[in-house]
Amino acid sequence: MAVLQTLLTGHNITALLIAAVAFLVSLALFSRFRGRRGRGANLPPGPPAWPVLGNLPSLARNPHLQLTAWRGTYGDVFSVKMGLQDAVVVSGKDAIREALVKKAEHFSSRPDLFLMRRNKQQNGLVMSPYGDRWKILRRFSMSTLRSFGMGTGILEEKIDTECRHFCTELETKSGEPFDFTHLLHNAVSNIMCSMALGKRFEYGDPLFLRLMEISERGVELFVTAHVFNIYPVLRFFPVVRKQYKEWMDLSEESIECFMNFIAQHEDGERQEKARDVIEAFRAKLEDDPGSLPDDSLPHLLGDLFVAGMETTANTLRWGLLYLATHPDVQAKVQAELDRVVGRERPPAVSDKPDLPYTEATILEFQRVRTVVPLNLPHCTTADTTLLGYDIPAGTDVLVNLWSLHMDPAHWDNPDTFDPSRFLDDNGQLQLNDSFMPFSTGRRVCLGEQLAKMELFLFLTNMLQRFTFTLPEGARPNFDGILGVTLRPQPYELIATRRE
């Protein structure tokens, strides 16, 4: 919405007004045309919308909260107008499962967004429309990641290595207030780098820092730049053109970066088992030419890098904030770790079944601050129905994971941070079917298993060695900043070495 604000406060008001009137008239005509197209008899209800802008003005700030409030009025399936485009908002476990699992064939595509087309992001995996290309890339990526996790245990080794580097770095900050954001982002993205590119970077490496800057800014811009998806013509307007240019420049720079990594990747002698995604991609093409779209590799690497970094690092940042403000929970996790793992060896994934309270704490981080609150956007590929409503083909679908995790019908005191909600009377882990931080269905997070290992190993390594507190007088803020992900406001913590 920053783009709209810039538009409204720009200097050249007269020129802008003339352009805006011409623009709105043409959009209104277009909107009437679209409004008639494909309208079914029983469309989901929804809040009243402004001409042309639709419901965008109400969604400018904290859309996940507004959409959750509208669920109370309009139910589990309702429509909103994102500018000229109809979108359906799906909330509640039954509606979400009906759409993403039972009717997966109809609900598993991505919207054909103008910006994604422009920067060829649809050549990758995350924004690829549902179809053969997506299926091939998804199958390849899944089997490659699985092969890293199974048998050789390469995955756990790589995460362990990074946890060690991260904790060593924390030692140097021990006892002083410190903003963990960059360090955590560096550590988490290094895991993706070593899996995808076959190399990790030193935390201060300028190329690495730039790559992270690009992806963080990209995720931040995703929401504001979305206005160009809704009104592509705005890119010609002088006041907002620079936002469009920034988005396009960042995407180009990021793809160039990944193309350079691919070009510099030394294969050496072919290994029996590929050690990273680039090696696996090349081996697959060598064995079966044409089996993968060969223009997709830089986009796929970029997708894995961004999808893997933002989500996991921000979950850990929320987690540390909650632990620092809930010392009782932190002490209980540490006591469980001391009892099961001790201090002499690092925690391992095989310890997980014996650490139910620790695991419940991680699940509670993911529930109380859903890091992808509105999921990634989906889109229907055919005329279909949902809970009895008609949903035309080509409708954008927003799945409200935030409202699912904050639903008082399924969670007692949903605003309260309480890991024990994930434990039964015997202190064993119990799951709740209204919990889906990784979404569900065919587009379910590809990195779910990896993310779970990362969250577990990072958290246990940190709490085995350190206790986290807020600096004196600090006021914790639990409102997030929403891009594609919900990230915490910047904050500082003190990591104190445990005796």
Task: Show binding-site residues for heme.
Answer: 445
Which residues within the stretch 343-382 sit at the binding site for ligand HEM (CB under 6 A)? 371-372, 375-376
Question: Smallest distance, Å, CB 439 to ligand HEM?
Answer: 3
| Interface segment toward ligand HEM; rule CB under 6 A; list 1-9, 65-73, 156-164, 302-310 | 302-310
* Distance separating alpha carbons of residues 128 and 120, to the nearest angstrom: 10
β-pair partners for 486: 482
β-pair partners for 257: none
Contact string (CB under 6 A) for ligand HEM, positions 229-248, x = contact: --------------------
The single residue among 304, 320, 324, 397 that binds ligand HEM, judged by CB under 6 A, is 304
Q: Are 492 and 177 spatial neighbours (Cβ–Cβ below 8 Å)?
A: yes
Q: Could you write out the DSSP letters of every residue in 446-491?
A: TTHHHHHHHHHHHHHHHHHHEEEEPPTT------EEESSSEEEPP-
Q: In which region does residue 486 sit, left (phi positive, over 0), alpha (psi from -120 to 50) or beta (all else)? A: beta
Which residues within the stretch 118-177 sit at the binding site for ligand HEM (CB under 6 A)? 125-126, 138
Q: Which is nearer to ligand HEM, 58 or 144 (CB)?
A: 144
Least Cα distance to 402 among 426, 433, 369 occurs for: 369
| Interface segment toward ligand HEM; rule CB under 6 A; list 14-22, 263-271, 304-312, 472-480 | 304-312
Q: Which is nearer to ligand HEM, 27 or 125 (CB)?
A: 125
Question: Smallest distance, Å, CB 125 to ligand HEM?
Answer: 5
In one-letter notation, the amino acid at residue 200 is: R
Q: Specify the 3-state DSSP secondary structure of 348.
A: coil
Radius of gyration of the chain (CA): 23
- Residue 312, interface with ligand HEM (CB under 6 A)? yes
| Interface segment toward ligand HEM; rule CB under 6 A; list 68-76, 207-215, 301-309, 320-328 | 301-309
Number of C-beta neighbours around residue 40 at 10 A: 13
Six token digits for residue 381: 């590929």
Contact string (CB under 6 A) for ligand HEM, positions 256-295, x = contact: ----------------------------------------
Q: Which H/E stretch holds residue 391?
A: strand 389-391
Question: Smallest distance, Å, CB 130 to ligand HEM?
Answer: 9
The residue of the chain with the least Cβ separation from ligand HEM equals 447
Q: Are 258 and 250 spatial neighbours (Cβ–Cβ below 8 Å)?
A: no
Number of C-beta neighbours around residue 434 at 10 A: 18
Six token digits for residue 174: 């021990």
Q: Which is nearer to ligand HEM, 47 or 218 (CB)?
A: 218
The dihedral of CA 23, 25, 29, 34: what is its sign? positive
Question: Smallest distance, Å, CB 91 to ligand HEM?
Answer: 14
Question: Smallest distance, Å, CB 188 to ligand HEM?
Answer: 8
* Distance separating alpha carbons of residues 43 and 365, to the nearest angstrom: 36
- Residue 303, interface with ligand HEM (CB under 6 A)? yes
Contact string (CB under 6 A) for ligand HEM, positions 52-81, x = contact: ------------------------------
- Residue 301, interface with ligand HEM (CB under 6 A)? no
Question: Smallest distance, Å, CB 365 to ligand HEM?
Answer: 9
Q: Specify the 3-state DSSP secondary structure of 291.
A: coil
Q: Specify the 3-state DSSP secondary structure of 408.
A: coil
Question: Smallest distance, Å, CB 236 to ligand HEM?
Answer: 31
Q: Which is nearer to ligand HEM, 391 or 446 (CB)?
A: 446
Known binding residues: 445
Q: Which is nearer to ligand HEM, 111 or 437 (CB)?
A: 437
Q: Specify the 3-state DSSP secondary structure of 38.
A: coil
Question: Smallest distance, Å, CB 399 to ligand HEM?
Answer: 7
Tell me the C-alpha to C-alpha distance, in Å, between residue 23 and each of 9, 237, 244.
18, 10, 18
* Distance separating alpha carbons of residues 277 and 259, to the nearest angstrom: 14
Tell me the C-alpha to C-alpha distance, in Å, between residue 2 and each of 31, 221, 226, 243, 255.
23, 9, 11, 10, 25
Which residues within the stretch 392-451 sit at the binding site for ligand HEM (CB under 6 A)? 437-439, 443-447, 450-451
Helix axes 238-264, 297-325, angle to 10 degrees: 110
Least Cα distance to 408 among 390, 421, 397, 420 occurs for: 421
The single residue among 186, 243, 251, 315 that binds ligand HEM, judged by CB under 6 A, is 315
Question: Smallest distance, Å, CB 375 to ligand HEM?
Answer: 5
The single residue among 308, 347, 419, 488 that binds ligand HEM, judged by CB under 6 A, is 308
Six token digits for residue 156: 């756990």
The single residue among 55, 91, 109, 311 that binds ligand HEM, judged by CB under 6 A, is 311
| Interface segment toward ligand HEM; rule CB under 6 A; list 201-209, 244-252, 284-292, 306-314 | 306-314
Question: Smallest distance, Å, CB 119 to ligand HEM?
Answer: 17
Six token digits for residue 269: 């002698």
Contacts with ligand HEM, residue ranges (CB under 6 A): 125-126, 138, 303-304, 307-308, 311-312, 315, 371-372, 375-376, 437-439, 443-447, 450-451
